[in-house]
């Protein structure tokens, strides 16, 4: 869809198409709908980022809590969103052996115990080995620094998801 089609969407249509650009947080797309008309995809991203960054820490934590554990229960039970299933698959999280699953379970549990929200990383931009390395490394962060890091990862995920929905301006001008 091009930016003109995005701007023509009703509230309900906008939330339908963009409701999961931030995992299981249609509230984010609902909040930015009124900022239309958007100039381009970067403008949508900026409004989403501004909205998320304006939230108090408790709101940011709420957004993070909507994310599933990587290689976790939702993956095993088949209840991941379509987007998360694709992203985790691209990163190799869907083909872990039993030792790797156990390691991810342990690290995810430690992370949630320490920070109170799940580990979030843009899986599409990372390999299985890099995800494990980052998860182990980020466990050492201070809580405030980790909250900001995790929110930065949310914006990366959001950007990639937006780019899978909205055609870049260059394509609409061809």
User: Which CATH number goes with the domain that contains 19?
Assistant: 1.10.3330.10
pTM recorded for the entire structure = 0.93
Q: What is the pLDDT of residue 76?
A: 86
How long, in residues, is the chain?
A: 174
For residues 63 and 43, the answer to whether their CB atoms sit within 8 Å is no
For residues 127 and 96, the answer to whether their CB atoms sit within 8 Å is no
Q: What is the pLDDT of residue 171?
A: 47
Taking every pair of Cα atoms in the chain, the longest distance, rounded to a whole number of angstroms, is: 50
Instruction: Answer yes or no: 67 catalytic.
Output: yes
Q: For the chain, how many structural domains are there in total?
A: 1
d(CA 174, CA 169): 9
For residues 112 and 104, the answer to whether their CB atoms sit within 8 Å is no
Q: What is the pLDDT of residue 174?
A: 42
Q: Which of 7-16, 74-83, 130-139 shows the lowest per-residue confidence on average (mean pLDDT)?
A: 74-83
pLDDT digits (tens, 9 = 90+) for 54-74: 999 999 999 999 999 999 999
């Amino acid at each position: 869809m091009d930016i003109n089609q995005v701007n023509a969407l009703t509230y309900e249509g906008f939330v339908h198409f963009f409701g999961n650009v931030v995992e299981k947080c249609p509230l984010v797309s609902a909040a930015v709908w009124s900022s239309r008309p958007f100039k381009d995809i970067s403008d949508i991203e900026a409004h989403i980022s501004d909205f998320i960054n304006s939230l108090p820490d408790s709101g940011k934590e709420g957004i993070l809590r909507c994310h599933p554990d990587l290689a976790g229960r939702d993956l095993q039970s088949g209840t991941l969103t379509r987007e998360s299933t694709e992203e985790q698959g691209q990163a190799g999280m869907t083909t872990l052996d039993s030792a790797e699953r156990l390691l991810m379970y342990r690290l995810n549990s430690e992370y949630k115990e320490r920070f109170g929200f799940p580990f979030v990383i843009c899986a599409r931009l990372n390999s299985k080995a890099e995800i494990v390395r980052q998860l182990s490394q980020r466990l050492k962060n201070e809580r405030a620094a980790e909250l900001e890091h995790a929110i930065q990862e949310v914006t990366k995920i959001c950007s990639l998801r937006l780019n899978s929905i909205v055609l870049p301006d260059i394509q609409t001008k061809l």
